[in-house]
Amino acid sequence: MTTDQVPKSDVLFTEAPVSWNTRYVTPSSFVCQITLRADSGKDLLERANAALAFLLDHGYSPSDNNHNGKDSKLCPIHQCEMRRWEKEGRSWYSHKLEDGGWCRGNQKKEGGSHE
């Protein structure tokens, strides 16, 4: 019996099906980020809980969303950074979507796009 082996250069690597990302502040005030990946949501949640317990037990604290010194926050729908905009005395946060539209971090309106 023979098995065909694929040369290393032809092997495609794919990202894990689930991932979890969080920012934290070290006891020395450095803002850091950690990403965990797993093959299932259950495994990922177990890893995330272990990571959070470790970080808290060792004096690390959660980071606020304004991690980069810019006026920004995290989109609750897409988990990506939103930029603050100002015009005519109003201000709002939004980020651009892949389809060219804009998301303001609000849930979809019925039959419409993100606000």
| Average pLDDT score over residue span 95-103 | 91
Written in H, E and C, the secondary structure of 30-73 is: CEEEEEEEECCHHHHHHHHHHHHHHHHHCCCEECCCCCCCCCEE
| Average pLDDT score over residue span 103-109 | 75
Q: Are 31 and 47 in contact (CB under 8 A)?
A: no
Domain ranges of the chain: 14-62, 68-115
pLDDT tens-digit map of 18-67: 999 998 888 888 889 999 999 999 999 999 999 999 999 999 988 865 44
